[in-house]
Amino acid sequence: MKRRLLLIALPLALLPVALSQTAAEKIAASFKRLDRDGNGKVTREESRDAKWFDHGDENRDGQLTPDEAVRRLSALVEKHGVPAPEAEPPDESLKEQPQVLKASDHGVGRRVPQLALQDLAGKPVKENEGAKATVIVCFGASCPISRKFGPELARLEKEFGARQVDFMFWCPVDAAKTADLREFTATHGLTSPVVAGTSNGLAAALRPGTTTEVFVLDAARTLVFRGALNDQYGLGYSKPAPARHYLREALEAVLRGESPPVEATTAPGCALELEVPVAATPATPTYHREISRLMQAHCVECHREGGLGPFPLESHEDLAEHAGMIRKQVERGAMPPWFAAPATHAGFSNDRSLPESDKSALLGWLKSGRPLGDPAEAPLPRVFAPGWSVGTPDVVYQLPEPVAIKAEGTMPYQNRVVETVFAEDRWVQGYEILPTAPEVVHHVIVKVHPKGSSVRQRGEGDDGFFAAYVPGNSYRMLPTGFAKRLPAGSRLSFQIHYTPNGKATEDQLKIGLIFAKEEPRNEVHVAAVAQPRLNIPPGAANHVETKRQVIPVNMNVTAFMAHMHFRGKSFKYELTTPDGKTETLLDIPRYDFNWQLQYDCAQPRFIPRGSTMTITAVFDNSSGNPANPDPGKTVRWGEQTYDEMMIGYVEHFTPLP
């Protein structure tokens, strides 16, 4: 029985292909996903120390080939008669928090040589001989996680500087712009010397991995700590306050003459690319010929000046500055943002997933020195209209007053209401939501409340929404003949999730509406299948909740959007038709609260009356979830992000008489 369970738990990449061509195709796709460096082999590290690795590694060379995996597991399948199961994609969160490391494996205890360093003005950086400790802080001026740590860096510099601790700020990105570095330090009031680049010897001496890593040297220049500043911010999460203050704890210990309680951790931040590039070949893509076109197709809609992305990727210099983070995010499937599992049904028209050929070309180019190529082969630049992407709106509604966004921590949802002025119903074909400070807006849900109804008459999950904003989805234009009804005298309510980014600011977002030019043939609605009876136990890492909803009328479905909060882990829509057939409509195996994407059907999906739609969600309420507000809490339904929700939104239309 144990052997059977082991086989069922094996990743699809390690299952035999002899059963069917479909299984073989799935195995190939899964193996590619595990083979992160694209060399045709899976190492123990790439398998994340999976239990099956030693069984598959027949020749014990520390690498697993597809051939090896198929032969070894095929024998087990044939011997025990276990059919090849449908395995889930790897359980790999997009969130990263600091992890404790073995300090001696990462240079702790070694002496860091004194280097002749120069600041941004070209002046020598002088060492304070009376310093009891020196802190070298990595940062990236355009890295959003670095920016979030800015206020805490200023506090540490002031507090420990008064206790004979020297600070130095180092940007280990050769392509970083000096003006951006000066702006970063000025914004946060940092006064210690700033050095930049990797040719000064620091990169060879310290080998940093990210733009948020910090290093502590004692008075004898012994490296006594390296790692994260604290655990308040990481990849994909923010906490109201840190639970661990790694740098503070290390400095307090050094000033007492003791070893830090934790000597080394990972430091989630923007990944650095410090490896020596491999030699380019004639077949290597160039920036002008291939890579610039790839970026235009997949990235610059958000990553451009004035776009929603945290930094632009419109030039060779931009890509050089962010090469490490581009590689990391592409390899782990976080960028471009698309989290639906490969479809076994009709696809989605807004599929952002990166084709394997483009992924291979981009990663190969990043590893080979990023050749520029011939400017004559460059594409024409993409042109984005300033202001509204949907064209000039017929009407614009703006929040009555700006919302103050604090610099640090997290904020509860903000709720605002705007009155409309129309004396008769209007048909809305398109909308766009424009924040005035998009860098701090995570998502927005807009609902319509007909005249005479209370704004809080129906809670979230009881019905759908009118408009939504998430990074990468700020507008929606319906096809000709389709529109949403805006009843006369309605009020618009805005539920806004703001994410502080290290600098206090204000936002006064607005929504622009495009009215249909003629009476529509179809009215568009958004329905909600919700499970409000949530009961998620403390510490549960894989708590499953389901909700089944019988569809009372014929529906023509055009889009899906799943909604959970910080503990959401995966989400699935399934349909069972009256004849008993069941299929998956949408599977999101790695749900991420930071990317509440809408999945638009390539063709409307007809669902007959009497069908059952089932939504299944998995929640991670464990301490292993870095975004979890409280692993010791029994979690139930609630509006704020420290509670939970489970809503499967379904956009559909009905023909008008």
> Where is the domain boundary, 345, 374, 403?
374
3-state SS, 571-630, equals EEEEEECCCCCEEEEEEECCCCCCCCCCEEEEEEEEECCCCEEEEEEEECCCCCCCCCCC
Residue 261 belongs to some domain of the structure: no
Residues in the chain with pLDDT values less than 70: 1-40, 43-56, 69-92, 343-346, 456-462, 472
Domain identity same for 112 and 248: yes
One domain for residues 505 and 542 = no
Asked if residue 193 is part of any domain, the answer here is yes
Closest CA to 465 of 532, 526, 531: 526
535 in the same domain as 637: yes
Residue 463 one-letter amino acid: D
Q: Is residue 278 part of a domain?
A: no
- Residue 379: inside a domain: no
Same domain membership, residue 364 and residue 405: no
pLDDT of residue 473: 79
How many domains are contained in the chain?
5
CATH code, 243: 3.40.30.10
211 shares a domain with 140: yes
CA angle 436, 506, 335 (to 5 degrees): 55
DSSP 61-91: SSEE-HHHHHHHHHHHHHHHTPPPP-PPPP-
The answer on 195 and 109 residing in a single domain is yes
Task: Determine, yes or no, domain membership for 244.
Answer: yes
* Strands 63-64 and 482-486, sheet pairing: unpaired
On whether both 207 and 241 belong to a single domain, the answer is: yes
Q: Which amino acid is at 94?
A: L
Q: What is the pLDDT of residue 35?
A: 54
**pLDDT at site 37:** 44
| Tokens representing residue 627 in the block | 């975004």
- pTM for the whole structure: 0.82
d(CA 127, CA 131): 8
Phi-psi region of 228 (alpha: psi -120 to 50; beta: other; left: phi over 0): beta
Confidence at residue 641, expressed as pLDDT on a 0 to 100 scale? 87
Q: Do 111 and 224 have their domain in common?
A: yes
Q: Which residue has the tokens 């040297």?
A: 217
Last residue of a domain, one of 351, 374, 397: 374
Domain span at 8: 2-80
Work out the percent of the chain whose per-residue pLDDT is above 90: 74
Matching residue, tokens 């198929």 = 70
Do the domain assignments include residue 562?
Answer: yes
- Clarify whether residues 515 and 553 are in a common domain: no
Are residues 316 and 214 part of one domain? no
Structural domain includes residue 280: no
Same domain for 488 and 544, yes or no, is no
What pLDDT score was predicted for residue 385? 81
Domain boundary among 520, 547, 563: 520
CATH for 68: 1.10.238.10
CATH number of the domain bearing residue 590:
2.60.120.230
On whether residue 251 sits in a domain, the answer given is yes
Say what the pLDDT of residue 605 is.
Answer: 94
Paired tokens of 467: 């408009």
111 and 244 part of one domain = yes
